[in-house]
Amino acid sequence: MGASFVEGVATGCRLAGCALVGGETAEMPGLYSGEDYDAAGAATGMRSHDQKLPRLENMAEGDVLLGIASDGVHSNGFSLVRKIVERSGIDYTAPAPWDSSKSVGESLLTPTRIYVKSIWKVHEHGQMLLGLAHITGGGLSENIPRMLPDHLAAEVDVTAWKLPGVFKWLKEQGHVASDEMARAFNTGLGMVAVVKAENAQRVTSELEAAGETVYTVGKLVPRTGEGCVLKNLASWD
């Protein structure tokens, strides 16, 4: 475990542009045995006051939501994923029904995409980014509102991007309701940004030049209830 685990952490650090400055390995034979292990880590950073996000005071009705594509399931919702795979009867070594070039296990464990360098290229050129939501546990429904002021909500049209095959399979095999999909998984968007309408095309172009796939997925509207309103969820059925 040791060498391969540290190698993976080092790869992530290179992608994020940060340093691995310390660590330790503790053996607890009373808790872990064989190939069992538990890993935990933390990242610490620094930013100047004028770089802080979100810029709540600058957000307004009509601001644009840009969604940046994920690389798959990332690292969330795996309790549900495991249950769906178990009930489907498919083996983790079998070709993935949504991507025959990989096994089920390989595809599901595609590493979480790290957006630091591409996002920073946009952020360091000015103040075009008003807010960023990393779509982790809680999906679109719970993560997007965290970057918004209390008087605004995100209106997201889920037809603005194609639901990736892995999520279609999980939905069908697990009989997962569309609104639950939006709470459990990233459904194809790993990051959502708020920008002014006049900056949307420039931000999109800069992110695409950095290797990202970007969709215009919605806008900010006055909040009358939930902080994230998902339109056309029936298209996932």
- Work out the angle at residue 153's Cα, subtended by the Cα atoms of residues 156 and 145, and round it to the nearest 5 degrees: 90
Question: Which residue shows structure tokens 């970007």?
Answer: 214
- pLDDT tens digits for range 70-113: 999 999 999 999 999 999 999 999 999 999 999 999 999 999 99
Residues present in the chain in total:
237
Neighbours of 186 (CB within 10 A): 32
- Burial class from Cβ neighbours inside 10 Å (0-12, 13-18, 19+) for residue 187 reads buried
Query: What is the model's pLDDT at position 212?
Result: 98
Q: Average of pLDDT values for 185-195?
A: 98
- Domain 53-236: CATH superfamily is PurM-like C-terminal domain (3.90.650.10)
Percent of the chain whose pLDDT exceeds 70 = 98
112: tokens are: 């979480």
pLDDT beyond 90 at 63: yes
Could you tell me the pTM of the whole model?
0.88
| Cα end-to-end distance, the chain, whole Å | 41
6 or 218: which leads in pLDDT: 218
Residue extents of the structural domains in the chain = 1-43, 53-236
Q: What is the mean pLDDT of the chain?
A: 92
Q: Are 190 and 73 in contact (CB under 8 A)?
A: no
